[in-house]
Chain A
Amino acid sequence: MTAAAPSAAGRQDSILRINLRKFTRDRLAIAAAAGVVLFVAMALLAPWLAPHDPYDTDLLRRLQPPAWMEGGEWSYVFGCDSLGRDIVSRIIYGARISIFIGVAVVLLATLVGTLAGLAAGYLGGAVDGVISRIVDVLLGFPYLIFAIGLMGMMGPGLQNIILALVYKEWTISCRVVRGETLATRELEYVEAARAVGASRTHIMLREILPNIMSPLIVVATTRMATIIILEASLSFLGLGMQPPLASWGSMVADGRSFLSDAWWVGTFPGVAIFLLVLAINLASQGLRDAFDPRLRQ
């Protein structure tokens, strides 16, 4: 048993490394990944990067146009919103919320989903029955409707958005892990571990899990893009992050009221969501191509 563990781990490392090397050869994916890194850096360095305080209202600058339009100035490149707040600074701070929620939801959901999927796939029987029924029920709700219902019940706020999304999101990784576990559990090295008397926990976490990491990582990155759009959608509907917090979704909602005379208020935050989600999607497609040749388009 002690001999089985390091060999499984060693083999996993090399597969992951080979896959990562394949990934680095995909130039578009690397560029996209660099874009994601830029967004993350923007979020982390927001206090130093933002030219103005994102909450600083100035009614004299109410709906001030972007710099290149008449009445704009270069210290407020994308103009100001209805309370005279600098849109660039609010977009920079908004990246924090989008990225934090995206990462938190995907991490939590993957953790829960992986444990549930391993248990369902490896233990089978009643455990699988119960977990699979719960997954079936949750899959019966359209995602956004489910999240809206939960947000209505729990009220807005950061913690509640994360919970509302995790309650459904874990089913995604659970199904992936369950399927992979079912395919893996009868393989020789798992049999071998069982034969030498390894415990079930050991087999699930040390033998099976390392070998299903690739699909799990691919799914997690793809889901990050979806979660960011979902959070922005909830905030757009006024059920997510509350003002005055700068969330991209609520900024777009704010801009909706001024479409005819101040298009910039809602347009630029939307561009930010679009670019971040596009970068994540491109990068995760590269990951998928590198990690799973079966899925290559």
Chain B
Amino acid sequence: MRLGFIVERLLQLIPVLIGISLVVFLMMTLTPGDPVEIMLGDQLATAEQKESLRRDMGLDLPAAERFIRFVRNSLSGDFGRSFFHRRPVAEVIAERLPATIELTIVAMLIALAVAIPLGVLAAVRRGSLIDKAATVISLIGVSMPGFWLGIMLILLFAVHLGWMPVSGRIDYAFEVPRITGMILFDSLVQGRYAAFLNALHHILMPAVTLGLAMAALLMRVTRTSMIEVLQQDYIVFAEAKGLSRARVLVRHALKNALIPTVTVAALETGYLLGGNTIVEMVFGWPGLARVIVEGIYSRDFPLVQAGVLVIAVIYVTVNFAADVLYTLLNPRVKL
């Protein structure tokens, strides 16, 4: 029964993924400008050379055929060559993606670390000053444009106080051999603690900038679901049994109240992935989102196309996982 549900959801994923590839394909096909001219840039080429290049890139084929080729190549990890970086797009993406994933994970962890305690506190002391303050803070959090918050943090903590680095992932003095490409993880498992701390120092401001709005959202979700759970009979019963308040809150209430929080967190990963573009630009973070934006400046279409596709596929996959997890975790959903 449960396996059947997962298979069914997986099958539903297929048309969505095909649709996403089609949208990405159309986005780039309909873009005005001849890719061959853009790729050649200032280089001089004869009409024959251009023609043969066009044939090599498959641009002479009908659109439907090009789309099928695009999907087939993407599936095998072949995204063509980047006009700007002058090497395979897959290489550029593999190099940059870990930085984006790392930043997204840390931002999510910060958001959860802020949101859960605040949300629980607001729910337990419902209607109190703390509750009202938490609501106002969360509204401020969602109303602050990320790029401006990032710049204000740089202004205060990097430029004026000098406590934080302005940009980058780690100081040049440190060398961390690449395992996953996520520096925090790589340095930790290799026991390079100085490098780990330095990388942590670098990721703090970008991750806070990225995670703040998410923290605000998750705080409200936690508060709402906690209030709901606290009114359930089994909580009243647990308290009547004489269990301590802390034990009831953590062992009985929080465990159930967190299901919506975790689900919303996973469903809103797309928000973080989109926000990455801004944060990576502001903090000079060498991730995939920044490469996409730079690819647009340099009209590097294969790179932009593949980058958008990879991020959309990651997003859809995370959503799928969240959906399956929620259904399996939540005892109230009957399969």
Residues from chain A with Cβ under 8 Å of B224 in the complex: 297
Q: Does A66 contact B (CB under 8 A)?
A: no
Q: Does A249 contact B (CB under 8 A)?
A: yes
A152 adjacent to B316 (CB under 8 Å) = no
Q: Does A162 contact B (CB under 8 A)?
A: no
A285 adjacent to B139 (CB under 8 Å) = yes
B15-40: contact bitstring with A at CB < 8 Å (1 yes, 0 no)? Answer: 11101101110011011100000000
**Docked pose: A267 CA to B159 CA in angstroms:** 14
Residues from chain B with Cβ under 8 Å of A238 in the complex: 297
A55 to chain B, nearest CB (A): 23
B308-330: contact bitstring with A at CB < 8 Å (1 yes, 0 no)? Answer: 10011001100100000000000
**Docked pose: A282 CA to B275 CA in angstroms:** 23
**Docked pose: A98 CA to B75 CA in angstroms:** 40
Task: Out of B27, B148, B289, name the residue touching A252 (CB < 8 Å).
Answer: B148
**Docked pose: A285 CA to B214 CA in angstroms:** 18
Q: Does B292 contact A (CB under 8 A)?
A: yes
Residues from chain B with Cβ under 8 Å of A142 in the complex: 270-271, 273-274, 311-312, 315
Q: Does A136 contact B (CB under 8 A)?
A: yes
A100 to chain B, nearest CB (A): 18
B278 adjacent to A233 (CB under 8 Å) = yes
A237 adjacent to B146 (CB under 8 Å) = no
Residues from chain B with Cβ under 8 Å of A282 in the complex: 139
A267 adjacent to B155 (CB under 8 Å) = yes
Given contacts A145-B273, A273-B145, contact A140 B315 (CB under 8 A): yes
B28 to chain A, nearest CB (A): 7
**Interface residues of chain B: helix, strand, loop or mixed (majority):** helix
A237 adjacent to B223 (CB under 8 Å) = no
**Interface residues of chain A: helix, strand, loop or mixed (majority):** helix
Residues from chain B with Cβ under 8 Å of A229 in the complex: 145-146
A233 adjacent to B147 (CB under 8 Å) = yes
Task: Out of B16, B139, B271, B292, name the residue touching A137 (CB < 8 Å).
Answer: B16
Q: Does A150 contact B (CB under 8 A)?
A: yes
Task: Out of A137, A263, A273, A297, name the residue touching B220 (CB < 8 Å).
Answer: A297
Report the nearest A residue to B267, measured CB to CB: A139
B316 adjacent to A148 (CB under 8 Å) = no
Q: Does A199 contact B (CB under 8 A)?
A: no
Report the nearest B residue to A150, measured CB to CB: B27
Q: Does A54 contact B (CB under 8 A)?
A: no
Q: How many B residues have CB within 8 A of the partner chain?
A: 53
Looking at A141, A233, A260, which has the most chain B CB atoms within 10 Å of its CB? A141
A152 adjacent to B155 (CB under 8 Å) = no
**Docked pose: A270 CA to B153 CA in angstroms:** 13
B19 adjacent to A137 (CB under 8 Å) = yes
**Docked pose: A125 CA to B19 CA in angstroms:** 20
A144 adjacent to B223 (CB under 8 Å) = no
**Docked pose: A255 CA to B270 CA in angstroms:** 28
**Docked pose: A56 CA to B241 CA in angstroms:** 74
A144 adjacent to B278 (CB under 8 Å) = yes
Give the residues from 270 to 286 in chain A that come closer than 8 angstroms, CB to CB, to chain B.
270, 273-274, 277-278, 281-282, 285
A153 adjacent to B30 (CB under 8 Å) = yes
Q: Does B248 contact A (CB under 8 A)?
A: no
Q: Does A151 contact B (CB under 8 A)?
A: yes
Q: Does A266 contact B (CB under 8 A)?
A: yes
Report the nearest A residue to B26, measured CB to CB: A153
Q: Does A203 contact B (CB under 8 A)?
A: no
Q: Does B244 contact A (CB under 8 A)?
A: no
**Docked pose: A225 CA to B216 CA in angstroms:** 15
Q: Does B194 contact A (CB under 8 A)?
A: no
Task: Out of B23, B135, B146, B289, name the residue touching A141 (CB < 8 Å).
Answer: B23
Residues from chain A with Cβ under 8 Å of B182 in the complex: none
**Docked pose: A133 CA to B19 CA in angstroms:** 8
Give the residues from 275 to 296 in chain B that come closer than 8 angstroms, CB to CB, to chain A.
275, 277-278, 281-282, 289, 292-293, 295-296
**Docked pose: A256 CA to B159 CA in angstroms:** 12
A149 adjacent to B27 (CB under 8 Å) = yes
Residues from chain B with Cβ under 8 Å of A145 in the complex: 273-274, 277, 289, 292, 308, 311-312
B335 to chain A, nearest CB (A): 21
Give the residues from 146 to 195 in chain B that come closer than 8 angstroms, CB to CB, to chain A.
146-148, 151-152, 154-155, 159
Pull 7 A–B residue pairs with CB atoms less than 8 Å apart, ordered by A.
A140-B20, A148-B292, A153-B28, A252-B148, A253-B147, A266-B151, A273-B148
List residues of chain B with CB under 8 Å of any chain A CB: 15-17, 19-20, 22-24, 27-28, 30-32, 135, 139-140, 142-148, 151-152, 154-155, 159, 220, 223-224, 270-271, 273-275, 277-278, 281-282, 289, 292-293, 295-297, 304, 308, 311-312, 315-316, 319
List residues of chain A with CB under 8 Å of any chain B CB: 133-134, 136-138, 140-146, 148-155, 225, 229, 232-233, 236-239, 249, 252-253, 255-256, 259-260, 263, 266-267, 270, 273-274, 277-278, 281-282, 285, 297
The 6 tightest CB contacts between A and B, nearest first, are A137-B19, A270-B148, A144-B274, A142-B274, A152-B296, A278-B143
- A-B contacts besides A140-B315, A225-B143, 20 pairs, CB < 8 Å: A134-B19, A142-B315, A144-B275, A144-B277, A145-B274, A145-B289, A145-B292, A145-B312, A148-B277, A149-B24, A149-B296, A152-B31, A232-B147, A233-B277, A236-B147, A237-B277, A267-B152, A274-B143, A274-B148, A297-B135
